[in-house]
Structure 1
Amino acid sequence: MDPSSALSRGWLQATFFGEEAATEKFPSPVVQILVVKSIPTEGGVDRHRLVLSDGDLFCQAMVATQSHYLIADQQLEPLKIVRIKQYQKNVIKQKRIMVILDLELPSVGQEDQIQPIAGASFYGNKTEEKKPPRPSDKPNLNIYPIEALSPFSSKWTIRARVSAKSDIRTWHRNNTDGKLFSVNLLDETSEIKATGFNEQVDEFYNLLQPGQVYYISTPCRVQFAKKQFTNLPNDYELTFERGTIIEKADDQSSVPQLRFAFCNLADLEKVEKDTTVDVIGVLTKVHDVASLVSKTTNKPYDKRDLTLADDSGFDTRLTIWGKQATSFDVKPESVIAFKGVKVSDFNGRSLSLLNSGTMSVDPDIPDAHRLKGWYDSQGRTQAFSNHSNLGGMGKATGRKDDTKLISQVKDENLGMGDEPSYFSLKATVVFIRQKSFCYPACSNTAATPPCNKKVEKISDDAWRCEKCSMNFPKPSYRFILGINVADHTGQTWLSCFDDVGRLITGTTADQIMEVMEDGGEAAAAHIFEESNCRTYNFRCRARKEIFQETETVRYQVLSATPVDFKAEGNKLAELIKQYSIN
């Protein structure tokens, strides 16, 4: 039997869109399983979600507990055809879900007659009588869920909203020029990145607009995602090809808007450097555009810093790049939601909008309405803390005083738990390790944000960055200092990166390397010696690491500030008052 004819075509349309006789017309509908996913729960009993197709439409479904054994026994798998004996439809927040109460699999004899639909399409092979529908034939179109896409799917159409769109980027390599752009595509089930090169840039760049819904049909290649270039939790990505069909959908409301997983600004301290997050805040300050020139390529690039605040009591700096920086015209006190920003440890914590990220001004979502109400009622006059002053103490930072002595850091085993520990430390630099004090970093400052990955020397006058696939005449050196610090209770080693290294040495790693390359090792050593015996307030993270099968704790400096002796004196005076000494 033709597998596509075995499916109960029209069942989902009749069930969800109003035919009262749907149960009479389809008493035991036959459908195909496209996706099977297990969802862990706190109670320990997993729930199971399916994506089902009746040959015309697809929907999400949940399997009742009494049928879980079929999944455990691997009887319910993608491409299987099943008969649903009892079901219940649900519409929750405009999302249609089918609850499967009872179902059955084909018997051995039936399996000989009805085979799973595989090969060219999940929806069966083409028949001579019926031509495959084009994207313009909206009512009869077989829509494929993004969640079910894989390299083994060859013929499909998705209906998706453009959730992000990059600028056009160009390159010149091996005497050839090229260009590319990318978009993120979102439907009810998942989100995926799609990239167009050269001819596809000319064909699709102006057509695909953020926030709009489109039908996209093969030929379009599905391949494994390059995780270093995307922040989406999808194992696959798309590449537009010659012949890819893209048409704007008439119904723009049938696909959900952007999904966010917001991190409040106070919690950025707990987020690992280089992690990608979503944030939302009130725009409190718009800085001027800074036009910079790459030291290596002499190409100009633009950046603009924004200051965001939220009801956690913190504000932070967020940088946007390129055309977004120059065309930015959002008024202060607007609420902006950012999806896909990279966390940096510059000035404690700061953010940078990635090429694949998006910015939504005054979005119609509950978090935005909450922040607008908070800012109008109290936020406008509130004083905010930020992560650059976390080295300060007590009330000045609006946070609990977690200042530690070196002896307390060790006695309390900070960092030995499953999660990192954060603390403040006032200590004096007594020694700077001069061996391996820096590394050669990528000089591609035109990247947004700058790459800063380690480069390899491939010849006397060439350095190679594998991430950027570019060569440079010389690297940009960045600090990775190891410093020994002391207070009156003991000594310990701290690790510092470039921003803190510049503060402590008063110079750059590039300048020190120039001195050493000119034969001035003694002068370079003098720079480090002059940096000793200075006291700082350090904001640190303690994290457990395993080195040579031994657990150790690494103390990394997130930020550092010179001691403000006036503020420290006032703090000591407050401490003395607590002892009621007259």
Structure 2
Amino acid sequence: VIIVLQLEILRTECTLIGSPTIYEVNAPQPKTGSYSDGLGIHGSMISRAEQGVTNIAYSPRQGLLGSSTAARAEHAVKNLPFSGFYGPMQSQNAIYAKMQQLSLNSHKGQRLAVPWAFGFPGNTYGYRVHPLYQQTPPMYMNGGPVTNNEGPAIPIANLNPYLARWTIKGRVTGKTEVRHFGEGKVFSFDLLDAQGDEIRATCFNSLVDQYYDKIVVGNVYLISRASVKPVLRKKANPLNHEHELILDASTSVESCSGDDGSIPLQRYNFRQISEIENLDCSSTVDFLGVVTSVSPSVTIARKNGPEAHKRTIQLKDMSGRSVPITLWGNFCDVEGQLLHSQWESGLNPILAVKGGRISHFNGPSVGTTSSSQLKINPDLPAAEKLRRWYAAEQEDDVYQTIVQINDEDFGTLSQPDLATVVATISFVCSGACCYPACDLMFNGEQCKKRVTADGDWWWCNRCLRRSKTCEYRYHIVCQIHDHTGSTYATVSQKAARDIIGRKAQEFYTIKDAVQNGQEFEKIMQGILGCEYLLKMSIKKVAENGIVVKRVIVEAERLDLSNSRRVLGAIDKLSKDNSSSSVGDIEI
């Protein structure tokens, strides 16, 4: 209910607009009374409200403000018994019309006849009352947020379920295969906009047939009127956006003619391979590395479903670490076969992996999923930098034999020497492979000395303090050998994790805490007899004489197929040289 407290007359006379029909006050009035069509107010009640307004002593200078009659007018309106849905609106029209009549001095005692279509009974001044039941209700999905109606293009980052009108413009950076579930089917594709934000769109059933061939990786599209839903399974959707698009029959997908240079071709968030062991299992990450080996394709028989193809490659980056990447399905047959061909010809291609899934089973590894994306030799500054780094590393690698590092004067008392050896681990001293180390700071660095259990605490004899926690560390001594001889070496923490494939605390739990002998033997059998590329630090130490300490600082398991490739290249070169020699003799 609106109460008018002050009115100001701007004009006392005005010119009539149009040709209204004028009739006298005493002319027959429309039928009044109690209307049952939703008004819920009697005509006599409106008359009393009009009378209350008419009796107000109104002054153009003073108005109603501060007058005692204003309160009476307000009281008259408040006491109207509105019972219908449209009652307050109808009463406002009646009071407002009466007050307007006060200013029509030039037509005093006259009224304007208004057709019935422009108002309900009692609203004789033509102010249209819009019945709410005639308004078109907004469209909601399941009683939730508005999700339809196109609008101007907005950044993907601004998409949310409560935005009514929107259109996004994005490049398709990846598209999954069609997956079947029962009688249904589904596929997804990822969109990237000019701001670098991404979102995933999904099509089900009949929309798969409509859009799968229409959506082309690399093309730019305008999309509107799709449902914006929260991402429920983050493992299945690794993109950073909190929502995803579900296309329906009303969705508009329009291909943009020409290429939009403002939208990048792809977005990566590369992580170092050395970070894998600290990342959660089943999390998805992006990697960029050099392909150092490619295995042949292998067929896997599944219990429920068709056979699967897989291929394993080794990827190495500037952290100096390597990780096996398992390519499944089409990745194995398409990108995997291309990588295998390049590697067989003596090349080491650069591979960008987007959305690889991390696993810690039998050591860190990465596998592709249906939403992963692979790019061979991407045109990226980081890829070119990695290529130069790997070429320089290959030139610096000069292999030594174990006899050489034993006999030659490797290492000094002041500075260690580095040597690279291809050797096999033949024995591991398994007496105390791990130990609990002090995690307190001593002289500005971590203590790392062995601690002993003291109830619920750990006691360090070096720090002379107790700590609630400790850090488990490797202490592995192994024997290595090649075709020239053998020697013993200590394994560093980093190299031990690469060889064992587990963190020190996990290995301690298996060997000492749980004493799972079967699992321990399985790990040992996976190490012994395997060939590694070992980088060793050799230094002489004055301990009861001059002692040579050999420490394995890096360890990379070699793939026998790599040796097969080298032997094949040597054999081909030998045949080419033989053919050239024979040809010279014939000439």
Name the structure where helix makes up a greater proportion of residues: 2
Name the structure where strand makes up a greater proportion of residues: 1
Q: What's the TM-score, normalizing by structure 2?
A: 0.46
Structure of higher CA gyration radius: 2
Q: What's the TM-score, normalizing by structure 1?
A: 0.46
